Amino acid sequence: MNATTDVFPLIQRPKPIRVPDVMEESLDERERAALIRRIKRLLVEQDAKLVAHYYTAQELQELADATGGYVSDSLDMAQFGHDCPNSTLVVAGVRFMGETAKILNPEKRVLMPEMEATCSLDLGCPADMFNAFCDQHPAHTVVVYANTSAAVKARADWVVTSGIALDIVRYLDQRGEKILWAPDRHLGSYIQRETGADMLLWDGACVVHDAFKAEALSQMRVEHPDAMVLVHPESPAEVIAQADTVGSTTALIKAARELPARKFIVATDRGIFHKMQQAAPGKIFMEAPTGGKGATCVSCAHCPWMAMNSLRKLAQVLETGDNEILIDEAVRAQAVKPIQRLLNFAKQRNQVVLGNNDA
Ligand code: SF4
């Protein structure tokens, strides 16, 4: 097989990404209880459902579950929004998740607790540079990960999630198509190694997963020989190589439940521990090692943008109606096509996209 993987040497690089500090909300018990009561009342008054990502704070996930909302990954969150009858969705996650919800649910009002909550993959792949990249490689099929802006999705032939990316790339490879992949280079090269497809990769990374350290992980495995290792494929190849299970957030939660170990080392955002503990009570979950604060780790296993979501901001947005996601209709109509292609592919393969997706 003559397949190649190239991380494209970007002629013009996106501006360096400024990663904020992780700022978690601090509330006393009385404040927390009052906010939760207020949010519950507002959700009913506003005919709204809360959909929260696995990486958000435990109390947001609990509130989504307790009010008939939903906790999952990005596409799954958008699909839930489509299926629920409510007219407003409040998306606790990052910007591209709110946009995906709006792309699939244009008739609904989509609000976000924090509009500045974004993603290093999305920030590292600006639409104008991405369009130029695609223009330079017109013979390639453009496949983008869900962690991209609506404008980047609008340029794609396919949107994929980590749960189904391998199947879609294999299918395209069997048709003899060359693939232009964006934005995560680690996920792209993992898929290339697994499928042998001919892929040209955009040079992006997730600040959380990129920070996991292979050598320190080897050491941790020596110290915990009874632990199994769960790794999200946005992590570096040397970390993935040590995994007992590599997979999407949902796949990792399933592995935590089903694998025989009592102890796990987990290389993804620690926000996922809440659902892992629910899925596998009594098991022990440990963060995979990062560079550590003050060293090369900027996020230390927790996404600073996910951490911007808070109970206070959620209450405020429900009260004011601020932070509504609006997408130009021409962009939305274009962006929905590659998402729909993904959904049709999953349906034809009888694969459940719901609960089987990306970060
Ligand atoms: S964890 Fe990584 S991929 Fe997920 S939103 Fe944060 S920066 Fe983006």
In CATH, what number is assigned to the domain containing residue 319? Answer: 3.40.50.10800
Distance between Cα 268 and ligand 1 center (Å): 10
Distance CA 8, CA 69 (A): 40
In this structure, are 140 and 88 located in the same domain? no
Q: Which two tokens stand for residue 327?
A: 């997408």
| Residue of the CA atom closest to atom 4 of ligand 1 | 359
Query: How many structural domains are present in the chain?
Result: 3
Q: How far is CA 259 from CA 249, 251, 253, 280, 283, in A?
A: 15, 11, 10, 10, 11
Look at residues 249, 252, 235, 244 and name the one whose alpha carbon lies nearest to residue 289: 235
Is the backbone of residue 17 left (phi > 0), alpha (psi -120 to 50) or beta? Answer: beta
pLDDT, the chain, mean: 91
Could you report the per-residue pLDDT of 94-129, keeping only the tens digit for each?
A: 999 999 999 999 999 999 999 999 999 999 999 999
Distance between Cα 60 and ligand 1 center (Å): 17
pLDDT of 355 over the 90 cut:
no
In this structure, are 79 and 93 located in the same domain? yes
Could you report the per-residue pLDDT of 164-188, keeping only the tens digit for each?
A: 999 999 999 999 999 999 999 999 9
Domain presence at residue 325: yes
| Residue of the CA atom closest to atom 6 of ligand 1 | 303
Residue among 75, 114, 120 whose CB has most ligand 1 atoms within 8 A, to mutate? 120
The amino acid occupying position 16 is P
Domain presence at residue 22: no
| Residue of the CA atom closest to atom 8 of ligand 1 | 119
Compare 352 and 147 and report the one with higher pLDDT.
Answer: 147
Domain presence at residue 355: no
Domain presence at residue 356: no
State which ligand 1 atom lies nearest to the alpha carbon of 94: 5
Compare 293 and 56 and report the one with higher pLDDT.
Answer: 56
Domain termination site, one of 150, 176, 201:
201
Distance between Cα 9 and ligand 1 center (Å): 23
In this structure, are 133 and 245 located in the same domain? no
Lowest mean pLDDT, pick from 1-5, 56-60, 193-197? 1-5
In this structure, are 83 and 129 located in the same domain? no
Distance between Cα 41 and ligand 1 center (Å): 31
Residue among 94, 116, 252, 308 whose CB has most ligand 1 atoms within 8 A, to mutate? 94
Domain presence at residue 148: yes
Residues having CB within 6 Å of any atom of ligand 1: 55, 94, 119-121, 147, 206-208, 269, 303, 305-306, 359
Domain presence at residue 24: no
In this structure, are 37 and 82 located in the same domain? yes
Domain termination site, one of 181, 201, 221:
201
Distance between Cα 146 and ligand 1 center (Å): 11
- pLDDT band at 2, cuts 50/70/90? very low
Domain presence at residue 216: yes
In this structure, are 269 and 281 located in the same domain? yes
Quick one: pLDDT at residue 336? 97
In this structure, are 214 and 197 located in the same domain? no
| Residue of the CA atom closest to atom 1 of ligand 1 | 303
In this structure, are 33 and 113 located in the same domain? yes
In this structure, are 134 and 197 located in the same domain? yes
Q: Which two tokens stand for residue 156?
A: 């794609």
Domain termination site, one of 287, 318, 336:
287
pTM for the predicted model, two decimal places: 0.92
Distance CA 291, CA 296 (A): 5
In this structure, are 36 and 115 located in the same domain? yes
In this structure, are 224 and 197 located in the same domain? no
Domain presence at residue 300: no
- pLDDT band at 340, cuts 50/70/90? very high
State which ligand 1 atom lies nearest to the alpha carbon of 122: 8
Peptide bond into 20 cis (omega under 30): no
Could you report the per-residue pLDDT of 285-319, keeping only the tens digit for each?
A: 999 999 755 444 545 789 999 999 999 999 999 99
Distance CA 277, CA 280 (A): 5
In this structure, are 256 and 270 located in the same domain? yes
Instruction: For residue 195, give its domain range.
Output: 5-17+121-201
| Residue of the CA atom closest to atom 2 of ligand 1 | 206
The residue whose two tokens read 């941790």 is 220
